[in-house]
Amino acid sequence: MDLDREIALVEAVLFLEAEPIDIRRISRATGLGREAVERALDELQKRCRKSDRGVELSVIADGYLLAPKRELWETLRGRYGRKNENRLSRAAMETLSIVAYSQPITRAEIESIRGVSSDNMIRLLVSRNLVQEVGRKDAPGRPVQYGTTQDFLKVFRLSSIADLPKLDELDTERFELDG
So what's the pLDDT on residue 179? 46
So what's the pLDDT on residue 85? 52
Close Cβ partners of 111 (under 8 Å, ≥ 6 residues apart): 117, 118
**Hey, what amino acid is at 84?**
N
- Please provide the average confidence, as pLDDT, over all residues in the chain: 86
- Give the residues of the chain that fall short of pLDDT 50: 83-84, 179
Close Cβ partners of 96 (under 8 Å, ≥ 6 residues apart): 88, 125, 130, 131, 148, 152
- Per CATH, domain 3-80 is 2.40.110.10: no
Cβ atoms of 147 and 103 closer than 8 Å: yes
Is the whole-model pTM more than 0.75? Answer: no
So what's the pLDDT on residue 27? 94
Phi-psi region of 61 (alpha: psi -120 to 50; beta: other; left: phi over 0): left
So what's the pLDDT on residue 32? 94
**Hey, what amino acid is at 66?**
L
So what's the pLDDT on residue 83? 47
Where in the chain are all domains bearing CATH 1.10.10.10? 3-80, 90-175
Report residue 26 CA to chain centroid gap: 19
So what's the pLDDT on residue 98? 93
Fold type of domain 90-175: Arc Repressor Mutant, subunit A (1.10.10)
DSSP bridge partners of 47: none
Q: CA distances (Å), 25 to each of 9, 30, 43, in order?
A: 13, 9, 18
